[in-house]
Amino acid sequence: MFTLSPFELEAIVLSLQVAGLALVGCLPLGLMTAWVLARYDFYGKFLLNGFVHLPLVVPPVVIGYVLLTLFGKRGPIGQWLWQTFEISIAFSWQGAAVAAAVMAFPLMVRSIRMSLEAIDGGLEQAARTLGASPAWVFVTITLPLILPGILTGSILAFARSLGEFGATITFVSNIPGETQTLPLALYSLTQAPDGESGAYRLVLISVAIALTALITSEALARRIGKRLGHRA
């Protein structure tokens, strides 16, 4: 029977905790950013778009170093947080969530933006013509139509957060019980003598969790899409 060791269970729980916080943190900002990119034309839009997608094209270590520079106790943000609230997110699981959120953010924005751009603008315009406020149009028309995109982006961001390694180890190090998520635990096993069997187990666990998230996302997106099509 496949039973989890305390080491594996600790890494799984921490990974889920980090990925969950990363998802909660980047969802509102991702929705707002996707809305701005999809609905507005302004000077410098290409710069914002490039900045949002930067984590996809630069080495994750670069992102981790930038985060460490900003949020370390000597960084401009980290120093203010420590002096004002005595909060330090560097070398903590909260910092791991920040790193994961930054790396997953482009995937969420892209999914939501594509859903927004696929909406028939005539539906929203018709609702506004009938006297609906912008907020009511968003809640009753726009939001239901982009739910598949939000769901897909959320699951992709969650799965990406589970697999984050480079930015995490650079920003918060590899601390057992604090920042040692599944990828970092796997890295530790590959560096340890006779750690091959444990590494194989973590590979299987990581693949199983990621596939479950992706399959769930696809099934829920199709179900929502069918409901929306039926209502239409």
Locate the domains of the chain by residue range: 6-231
* Average pLDDT for the chain: 88
Whole-number Cα distances in Å, 185 to 10, 163, 171, 204, 217 = 10, 11, 16, 13, 26
Are the CB atoms for 168 and 181 separated by under 8 Å?
yes
Rounded to whole angstroms, the Cα distance separating 15 from 160 reads 11
Nearest to 168, CA basis, from 107, 213, 104: 104
State in Å, rounded, how far the first CA of the chain is from the last one.
48
pTM: 0.89
The burial of 62, by beta-carbon neighbours within 10 Å (0-12 exposed, 13-18 middle, 19 or more buried), is given as: middle
Query: What is the CATH number that goes with domain 6-231?
Result: 1.10.3720.10
Q: How many CB atoms lie within 10 A of CB 73?
A: 12
Place 10 in a pLDDT band, splitting at 50, 70 and 90.
very high
| Nearest Cα residue to 174 out of 86, 64, 72, 70 | 64
- Bigger pLDDT: 123 or 33? 33
Q: For 212-226, write each residue's pLDDT tens digit.
A: 877 887 787 777 767
Q: Tabulate helix, strand, coil % of the chain (nearest 5).
A: 80, 0, 20
pLDDT of 110 above 90: yes
Q: Are 101 and 93 in contact (CB under 8 A)?
A: no
- Which is higher by pLDDT, 231 or 181? 181
Tell me 35's DSSP state.
H
Is the pLDDT confidence value at 81 over 70? Answer: yes
What secondary structure letter does DSSP report for 139?
A: I
